[in-house]
Amino acid sequence: MTQDEMKKAVAEAAVEYIKPKLNKESIVGVGTGSTANFFIDALAEIKHMFDGAVASSEATAERLRAQGIEVFDLNAVSEMDVYVDGADEFDSGLNLVKGGGGALTREKIVAAVAKEFVCIVDSTKKVGVLGAFPLPVEVIPMARSYVAREIVKLDGMPEWREGFVTDNGNLILDVHDMEIMHAKALETQLNNIVGVVTNGLFANRGADVVLMGTPDGVETIT
Ligand code: 5RP
């Protein structure tokens, strides 16, 4: 089974997982990335079962609309039962590293609103210790160098993702060489650096359930 086949299988499993939770008024939060794209395609098959979606990026909004799913502004939504999104890494505590696609801030906002965060990954995303995947940090442009210096003091090696601008008009620093033993504390510490918008650690609000595509089928991890 290829990685894409595992992503597609887990995306289809996610649709089966959320189906019983949906009604005609439901709004589904939708993440960003290639796994989320497979999810959008599978979600389109049941679009008659819910009202619409909130997107975590412009790219996701465009794909949802192309599939005939109405996209709502988060400010117009008071309740969201479920948010479905991929991840770059997850550990046994269901802490995540996200933001490989640069959509981390909107992803974190939508995840915060949702009652349940369903993370969909293939088995290559499972790690013992987070940090092998460079940790994305979204920064206000004028603060880029200052934030980078502060991250070096925390023993991280920040690299500017040159040429990339987020949907919010900001920049990304990808932090290499982090062995993340205390994910919640590091998430808070990085967010406390002035000029940081948010970082890609989803630990204080991690996933509630991980659906993991493997060559032998989809595993549910809680
Ligand atoms: C985007 C993300 C994605 O969820 C993450 O990068 C995983 O992407 P993919 O499903 O393409 O492997 O956080 O900001």
pLDDT tens for each residue of 11-57: 999 999 999 999 999 999 999 999 999 999 999 999 999 999 999 99
Name the pTM for this structure.
Answer: 0.95
Task: Identify the active-site residue in 12, 89, 107, 138.
Answer: 107
Check if 34 has its Cβ closer than 6 Å to any atom of ligand 1: yes
Q: Where are the beta strands (DSSP E) in 34-182?
A: 52-55, 80-85, 89-90, 96-97, 114-122, 135-139, 157-160, 171-176
Check if 32 has its Cβ closer than 6 Å to any atom of ligand 1: yes
Per-residue pLDDT for 1 more than 90? no
pLDDT tens for each residue of 160-211: 999 999 999 999 999 998 999 999 999 999 999 999 999 999 999 999 999 9
Task: Output the pLDDT for position 199.
Answer: 98
107 is catalytic: yes
Contact 56, 32 (CB under 8 A): yes
Burial class of residue 128, CB neighbours in 10 A (0-12, 13-18, 19+): exposed
Per the listing, tokens 């597609």 go with: 8
pLDDT tens for each residue of 52-92: 999 999 999 999 999 999 999 999 999 999 999 999 999 99
Per-residue pLDDT for 8 more than 90? yes
